[in-house]
Amino acid sequence: MQKQPEAVLNDDDQGFRRIVARTRGAGHGGPIARLISPSDLGHHLKPFVFLDLFSSDAALVRNMAVHPHSGLATITVLTDGDLRFDKPGWGSGTLGYGGVEWMRAGSGVWHGDEMWPGSTPKVRGFQLWIALPAELEASPAEWQFVEAREIPAVGPARLILGEYQGSRSPVRSPPGVNYLLVTLQPGEEYLYQPPEGHEVGWLSVSLGALEAAGGVSAGELGMFERGGRPITLRGGTAGATFVLGSAVPHPHDLVLGSYSVHTSAAALRAGEARIMELRPRHAAVLA
């Protein structure tokens, strides 16, 4: 049975928006810790339905099995190190801090062979999965590889997805979802005001620690109470690098397959059928 997130209660005497649950996820201690899944916090944080924090030798990227998805999008960002990408028809280059791989699975896709070791021996970062709205869950698959220089900076944040303070990410994500990568220096303060309707909010720290309600340290995820209150943060004694997400709540129940997230059983059946049509000979065996 998957470990359930630990519920915490914190006061907000300092003006912090409350963290109402926190977790270090499943698989902590290995190269990948799953911090969000639909069986726990993903139910409350949808459209954010999976989040993995990874830290490994860059060479292990080549050992990833080709695997399928449908009905969702994956977003990969690095907080330390770099990787090369090479996807025929979609581009080649290098992703480091602030760059992003966007993969919209839509009606169905196989992936896992597009990333290669870069110039650093180790990499650390996050892979996020978001549930797509009904009008996009059967759309054609697409990739975007956006290097760091093309991602807008908003103060100490890089705007990975969405719109914030007059800036817009070039990533073609659906409306109503913001995702930021932030680095704060020791004692540096940061205030995030969610856009109207963004009642879902969370953050996860990759490096260092934050002074939020109760504190959030490296390897930990905190889920904020629902609502539109600002999120007020301060870098700890060693500073902090973290990701922060906010969104309009996903209005559908999550209908899950082995590799897929859809809004209905019919859409899931269509996605899984399309996956089998596209299955390459060298792909992993489906469960």
Q: How many Cα atoms are found within 13 Å in the side-chain-facing hemisphere of 102?
A: 21
Q: pLDDT tens for residues 91-145?
A: 788 999 999 999 999 999 998 878 888 999 999 999 999 999 999 999 999 999 9
Q: In the CATH hierarchy, which fold is given to the domain comprising 6-278?
A: Jelly Rolls (2.60.120)
Q: pLDDT tens for residues 231-245?
A: 999 999 999 999 999
H helices then E strands: how many in the chain? 2, 25
Compute how many other C-beta atoms are within 10 angstroms of the C-beta atom of residue 30: 10
DSSP secondary structure string for all residues of 109-146: EEES-SEEE-SSSEEEEEEEEEEPPTTTTTSPPEEEEE
Q: CA 59, 62, 68, 73 torsion: positive or negative?
A: positive
pLDDT of residue 48: 98
Tokens of 158: 């890089």
pLDDT of residue 89: 77
Question: What are the phi and psi torsion angles at 58 (to 5°)?
Answer: -60, -30
Angle formed at CA 205 by CA 240 and CA 249, multiple of 5 degrees: 125
DSSP secondary structure string for all residues of 164-227: ETTEE-SS-PPTTEEEEEEEE-TT-EEEE-PPTT--EEEEEEEEEEE-STT-EETT-EEEEPSS
Segments in the chain below pLDDT 70? 1-16, 27-29, 63, 281-287
pTM of the model: 0.91
Q: How far apart are CA 29 and CA 19, in angstroms?
A: 24
pLDDT of residue 2: 37
Q: CA 244, 151, 84, 96 torsion: positive or negative?
A: negative
